Structure 1
Amino acid sequence: MTGLEHLAVLGAGLGAGIMTSTVGVASLLSFPVLLAVGLPPVVANASNTVGLTPGAITGSIGYRAELREHPVVTATIIGTCALGAVGGAVLLLALPPGVFEAVVPWLILGTCLLVGAQPRISAWLRKTAAEAPDERTRLSPATTFFSTLVGVYGGYFGAGSGVMMMAVLGFGSNLDFRIMNALKTLAILASNLVASVIFIVVAELDWTVVLLLAAGSVVGGYVGARVGRRLDPRLLRSLIVVVGVSAAVSMLL
């Protein structure tokens, strides 16, 4: 890679770290950049997961106060997403690379739709939480099952898994919105961390990319948890959708 490409990957890590703690669609920003600098899709995906894990760690640290409020739910999210991520990572490595290359453009487009709909989803979640007569602080079996599916998706690809987890928690609990946002970041961490261990052991990685993404995402994850909410979410969301759709269309063509 050239010097400019190194800077692009570093910047993608910084932006993706902020996205992890705010919008929850980090890979839609970083994954297309890795494709643009010439990485094969499966190598890019595995390297992206490993490189963004530090950002999810610092983002979760930034939300530590919220995560302490409901320890049982926090433990459930960690367990289900970690377990699901094992299945997702195994699927990525066991299936032929052509399967991932064929599926990922549609996953990206689907995630872009989720990002576009996120303001309505978030408004609905806030309204539901405000109108709920009581607060469900334990996850039902159905909610736990869907949380595990989010973990599977996170281990396989992951773009938009944070938005998916917000929807799962919104339908399955009456937790405060800020708590759900913290749990969303923790879910990304659990999936990424488990998948990263598997990828480090058995997958092909581009370690230069991993280190650049990690350096950027460490800063971005903590910044996102602290000040990311002050950024204009419409600008961030528009950028993500444009980048994601462009990447998906280029892969389809």
Structure 2
Amino acid sequence: MLDTAAVFAAGVAAGCINAIVGSGSLITFPTLVALGYPPVVANVSNNIGLVTGNVSGVYGYRRELKGQRDRLLRLGTASLIGAVTGGLLLLTLPPEAFDIIVPGLIAIAVVLVIVQPRLQRWVLARREGHSAHGGAWLWLGVLGAGVYGGYFGAAQGVILIAMLAIALDDDLQALNATKNVLSSVVNGAAAVLFTLMWAFGSTEVSWMAVLLIALGSGVGGLIGAKVGRRFPPAVLRGVIVAVGVAAIVNLVG
């Protein structure tokens, strides 16, 4: 029962954080690993479970999405291609590669979370005069973020919001809504791929973990979209960093 409560609570926290910042996997993934799930199983189950939270976050930001149809279609294709590529890399590379690569990815994600306020100020000063769609460089950047998200994905949202704010001249709340949609495309595409591979016996999934994270993140996504903006950002970053460091220690220990 304690394990069940821990996974559900981690899902709520991740859904809330993903709607606001985009680092929720740094809560759920380490929780699953700490409870004894193999890293690849934890990553796959976590990815599938967080789709509900992504969708609820998009719903919560639906007002900010008005007028973004063309942008979302253009950038969504990059997210889709990247997600499938990253998911295939996860499933085809040996598990030993995941054990080596993921601590480094978590470390990068933790650093991005720490520097987010300074990064945000930097990108705000450089947003003027950019195209409505960001051009080819933004498309390629979103593609790369999709590969990262399909393979692991912690702090994918931080990467996306930074690129969007640099390339697009728009309100940050609107860009956060765009980020939520693109993250949903990545997680959703990877989740479909992982489910198909599970059906063919090519990967393992803990469906109990998926269910608990899905329920928790669905609730958390709505909370994050409605009231999460009121939470002190420093507190959220502190929790994310602490969990991320704990995950690195657990994985390399």
Query: TM-score, normalising length from structure 2?
Result: 0.95
Determine which of 4, 7, 11 is the counterpart of 1:6.
4
Alignment length (residue pairs): 248
Give, in whole Å, the separation in 1 of the partners of 2:229 and 2:179. 15
The reply to whether residue 193 of structure 1 matches residue 188 of structure 2 is yes
Matches within 5 A, 1:59-138: 59-129=57-127, 132=128, 134=129, 136-138=131-133
Q: Which amino acid aligns with 1:159?
A: A
The residue aligned with 1:207 is: 207
Map of 1:252 onto structure 2: 252
Letter of the 2:80 counterpart: A
Pick from 53, 56, 66 the counterpart of residue 54 of structure 2: 56
CA RMSD, Structure 1 to Structure 2 (Å): 1.1
1:151-200 deviations in Å (ceiling 9; x for gaps): 11110000010001011112222222111111111111000000000111
Cα distance in 2 for residues equivalent to 1:243 and 1:209? 18
Q: Which residue of 1 aligns with 2:164?
A: 169
* 2:176 matches 1:178: no
Q: Judge conservation of contact 2:161–2:176 (CA < 8 Å) in 1.
A: yes
Cα distance in 2, alignment partners of residues 229 and 107 from structure 1: 26
Moved more, 162-171 or 93-102: 162-171
Q: Are 2:34 and 2:250, in contact at CA under 8 Å, matched by a contact in 1?
A: no
**Shift in Å, 1:135:** 5.4
Q: Tell me what 1:223 maps to.
A: 223
Q: What residue number does 1:140 align with?
A: 135
In the aligned structure 2, how far is the partner of 1:135 from the partner of 1:93? 38
Runs (5+) with no aligned partner, structure 1: none
Given residue 19 of structure 1, which amino acid in structure 2 is its aligned partner?
I
- TM-score normalized with structure 1 length: 0.95
Give the aligned residue type for 2:182: A
- Tell me if structure 2 keeps the 8 A contact 1:77–1:186: no
Cα distance in 2 for partners of 1:105, 1:208 equals 25
Give percent identity, aligned residues only: 41
Contact kept, 8 Å, 1:10 with 1:213, in 2: the verdict is yes
